[in-house]
Chain A
Amino acid sequence: NAGVMQNPRHLVRRRGQEARLRCSPMKGHSHVYWYRQLPEEGLKFMVYLQKENIIDESGMPKERFSAEFPKEGPSILRIQQVVRGDSAAYFCASSPRTDVGQPQHFGDGTRLSIL
């Protein structure tokens, strides 16, 4: 079984450009979570989505960031007009449901570098 797939693994953008990060959850998983990680730090929750719905976006910056998980295709984290401070590793996780006792399974992340 394929795990959580994220692409690209590395993404370089110049200030002001847009960054699109993709995440395909594990087969059978309908819940997707995005996290941000700075070097030598822990994971910070950004957003939780189910198919076609945003369930919790309390960790998302109010501007420039958006996420979607369409009926067909991967989940997308989109960052518009990127700034240097957006440089980080972005991880996606998926789970089959949110009942207690369901671990999240992570992809290997996208490392975003802003020039």
Chain B
Amino acid sequence: GESVGLHLPTLSVQEGDNSIINCAYSNSASDYFIWYKQESGKGPQFIIDIRSNMDKRQGQRVTVLLNKTVKHLSLQIAATQPGDSAVYFCAETSYGQNFVFGPGTRLSVLP
């Protein structure tokens, strides 16, 4: 289930289940979005990106969905594995602007 901790919301899923991590972005002018994965003690690692002229983009085991109407971005991870446990950040930007990062969601994969 999903819970909100002191700072980071946490999503707990069973190994093998699918995970869905959500992100609400703030700027309706944003036209490029990225999902990053951050493991403990490491920097954010690029997972997948999507431009605003697309609604969906698929990678290996991951899918990003973009709903511009409600300014919502989601990351779907198929067949979640223990190695997927990390904090996931969405980031948004528009041409010439800096990236703005979301607050992050901690994904915990239960055995």
Contacts and interface: CB of A to CB of B under 8 A. Distances in A.
Chain A contact residues (Cβ within 8 angstroms of B): what range? 20 to 34
Contact of A103 (B49, B89, B94): B49
- Give the secondary structure class of A's interface: loop
The 8 A-B residue pairs with the shortest CB-CB distance, nearest first, are: A106-B43, A40-B7, A43-B101, A108-B43, A42-B103, A100-B32, A106-B44, A100-B95
Interface string B70-111: 000000000000000000010001111011111110000000
Interface string B45-85: 11001010000000000000000000000000000000000
- Give the secondary structure class of B's interface: loop
Point out which of A33, A40, A41 has the most chain B C-beta atoms below 10 A from its C-beta.
Answer: A40
A33 B49 CA distance: 19
Interface in B30-52: 31-32, 34, 36, 41-46, 49, 51
Interface of A: 4, 6, 33, 35, 39-43, 45, 48, 56, 91, 93, 98-101, 103-109
Given A45-B98, A45-B99, A56-B98, A100 B93 contact: yes
Contacts of A107: 43
